[in-house]
Each structure stands twice: as C-alpha cells, then as structure tokens.
Amino acid sequence: MLERPDLELLTSGARQLGITLDDLQLHRFSIFTRLLLEWNRQFNLTRITTPREMVIKHYLDSLSCLTVAEFPLDAKVIDVGTGAGFPGIPIEIVRPDLNLTLLDSTRKRLFFLEAALLELGLSGVSLLHGRAEEAGHDPLRREFHDIAVSRAVARLNILAEYCLPLVRYNGIAILQKGPGVDEELEEAKPAIELLGGEIEKTARITLPESDIVRSIIVI
Ligand code: SAM
C-alpha cells in the first residue's frame, strides 16, 4: 500500500512531469505497490523494496516516458522486457485507453503481471511470453505497434534490434537509460540506421524529489 506521504510524493512528482493523477489512479498505484511487496517476498521481482523508492524509481521514472513523445489515443504500445511491469503498468494506469502489450521472456514475471492486471482492473493489456527478437519476426507483431518502450533490458544497439522491428513505419521507440548514454548511442547508430530508425532526441530527466538523472532516447 502507499501511505499518505508516498501518495503525496507520487501526486507532486507526477505533477512535475505534467501529469495530474486522480483518485482511481492513485488507488491503482497503491494496489500495485502492495502486490509488488507481497510477490517480491517469493519471486525476487525488484530490488527496490520501500514504497517511497518505488514511487520515485519505478513509477515516476516510468511516467517520464509520457513526457518525451505524444501517445495518441488508443495507441498500440509494447513494453519490451517489462519485468515486473516497468514502464508499462504505470503508463497504463495513467493512460488506460492505450492498447498495451507487456512482453517478457521470463514466465514467472508474467504470472505476477497476470495477477496484478486482474486486481488492478486494467483490461486493455495483453501479456506476451517470448523473446523480443522472435516477436520481431512474427508477422502478427512485426511493424504492428505505434510505440515501443523499454527500460533496463540491454545495451542500446541490442535494444534497437529488439524494438525497432516491432514498431510501424513512423512509429517510435522510447528507450530508457541511465545518465551516461553518449558512448552507447555512438555504438548504436549503425544498427539504428540499418533498421531504418532515426534518433529524434535524447531527453535528460531528473526524477522528481531526487537527484537521479535518466536519459530517454526517442527513435
Ligand atoms: N523493464 C523492467 C524494469 O525496468 O524494471 C525489467 C528490467 S530487467 C533488468 C530486464 C527484463 O528484460 C527481464 O525481465 C528479462 O526477462 C527481460 N528480457 C531480457 N532480454 C529479453 C528479450 N530478449 N526478450 C524479452 N525479454 C527480455
């Protein structure tokens, strides 16, 4: 659960990102926190174990994706290597109109996500078990999504190979990275070009209520 100080932190942090959270959204974040804490005892889903840290390092970090690009109404979004649901679940809590797919190669994470989605009452989300590089070859998935998001899955050159085939022509990939990304970006440029991508921007974001700096690469 999220107690009042954590809810206030989430509310004010989201506001700093330009997002106003309503009661239902805050309730869903609270439920998700309880589930993460409960399941984490058994399944080692995340190393972050305090609600305050979850708010900053998981929820606000995930929501920062919404600030770097427009997410059209009902857009088809895929979260590649979602793990315990980041950044996908916080994005879906704020934008339940999105048609979100959570993709991961580890089945136990999908068990958690299945249970979480049921409790959260988020019905517009599909789960996909498998490897991103295989999904990119599936005719039903290839060039199907408007937006791919991904956090903490692989180096950028590999991540581009995972994400770009899944995105339609003129779609976007939003890749979340740590503060120092220049070297990785240089390394990834040939792969991005080969895959028909173009780097639109690299946004640097300081997470609200912290000094944590993150880079978001929009391709
Ligand atoms: N994105 C989440 C986050 O930021 O908390 C999870 C990050 S975790 C470090 C990396 C996740 O990517 C794991 O859940 C792993 O199973 C998944 N993963 C790694 N390589 C993958 C691949 N090729 N296809 C699908 N999932 C992959």
- The answer to whether residues 10 and 29 touch, using CB atoms and an 8 Å cutoff, is yes
Return the pLDDT at 183: 94
pLDDT tens digit string along 162-190?
999 999 999 999 999 999 899 999 999 99
Q: Looking at residues 214-219, what average pLDDT do you find?
A: 98
Return the pLDDT at 187: 96
Return the pLDDT at 94: 98
pLDDT band at 195 (very low <50, low <70, confident <90, very high): very high
- Ligand 1 neighbours (beta carbon < 6 A): 81-84, 86, 103-106, 109, 131-133, 151-153, 162
CA of 142 to the centre of ligand 1 (A): 19
| Atom 13 of ligand 1, residue of closest alpha carbon | 83
pLDDT band at 210 (very low <50, low <70, confident <90, very high): very high
Mean pLDDT computed over every residue of the chain? 96
pLDDT tens digit string along 46-61?
999 899 999 999 999 9
Return the pLDDT at 27: 98
Judged against a pLDDT cut of 90, whether residue 142 lies above it is answered with yes
Distance, in Å, from the CA atom of 7 to the CA atom of 9, rounded to the nearest integer, reads 5
Strands 125-129 vs 201-206: parallel, antiparallel or unpaired = unpaired
pLDDT band at 44 (very low <50, low <70, confident <90, very high): confident
Judged against a pLDDT cut of 90, whether residue 121 lies above it is answered with yes
Mutational test site, ligand 1, from 78, 104, 110, 159, max ligand atoms within 8 Å of CB: 104
pLDDT tens digit string along 97-108?
999 999 999 999
Structure token digits, residue 121: 């009452």
DSSP state of 47: S
Distance, in Å, from the CA atom of 143 to the CA atom of 145, rounded to the nearest integer, reads 6
Structure token digits, residue 203: 């946004």
CA of 23 to the centre of ligand 1 (A): 30
pLDDT band at 128 (very low <50, low <70, confident <90, very high): very high
